[in-house]
Structure 1
């Protein structure tokens, strides 16, 4: 039997939901690894509809006008800081590059996003003792 928060994830943009504080909406911001290397941009926020929390970010890199773009899912647990312009992760570029293959159809399978959490070293959000990270949050310049 599934527990709350274990249903399929959906893109926030595919729902009627919004981010409560517009400053906390990180879509379109640059994503940097722990060393400051560019990883791409936040393309989408994936939420579980039961708890209405962001669980994964969808990061797109490369390509031109969306053609030839590489995409990956990254748990919000990997976010270490958010500014008005960028999202910083606790991962290296090389580690992100080796992440499980992106398949948008599979995000509806709990095993698939469970593998993503495991790859990045985080417990899945439906597991016992899980604590939601301090996300979303906004740190204005100079704060």
Structure 2
């Protein structure tokens, strides 16, 4: 899934406000709802969205898991009115959960490589 396609998917509207992305639905390859976008993570220097925190499962915020997913794993789907991903349920069940974890250091490129490798996503810093 291509970087940048998520923000440019709406015909005639290449830009979207972040508060309109937060809360948007996320669907699996078959179009089944699997979660929603909780927040965006932006690289400070370039201003690019590089990750999204996606909430999966739970009910009204209870019992949900939040996973940091590379932004390139999402593509806006006009027909669904949300974002489609190729992430599978099996990947979610084994996914690392570290969003806002005290022992996770976003400045550690090796940890970011591990995240990208898990999701089979290109490294945003080399695209």
What is the TM-score normalised by the length of structure 2? 0.70
Query: Which stretches in structure 1 are left out of the alignment for 5+ residues?
Result: 1-19, 131-143
Q: Name the counterpart of 2:97.
A: 101
Structure 1 residues 55 and 91 mapped into 2: Cα distance closer, same or farther (>3 Å)?
A: same
What is the TM-score normalised by the length of structure 1? 0.63
Q: Name the counterpart of 2:25.
A: 30
Structure 2 distance, partners of 1:22, 1:101, is 27
Contact 1:26 1:87 in 2 (8 A): no
Report the RMSD for the aligned CA atoms in angstroms. 2.5
- TM superposition shift of 1:62: 2.8
Instruction: Pick one of 70, 95, 98 that aligns with 1:75.
Output: 70
Q: Alpha-carbon deviations, 1:37-80, whole Å to 9, x = none?
A: 22211000011101111111101123344332211111111113
Instruction: Give the length in aligned residue pairs.
Output: 109
Structure 2 distance, partners of 1:82, 1:25, is 15
Contact 2:40 2:53 in 1 (8 A): yes
- Higher mean displacement: 43-52 or 101-110: 101-110
- TM superposition shift of 1:23: 8.1
Query: Which stretches in structure 2 are left out of the alignment for 5+ residues?
Result: 1-14
- TM superposition shift of 1:86: 1.2
Q: Runs ≥4 in structure 1, deviation > 6 angstroms?
A: none
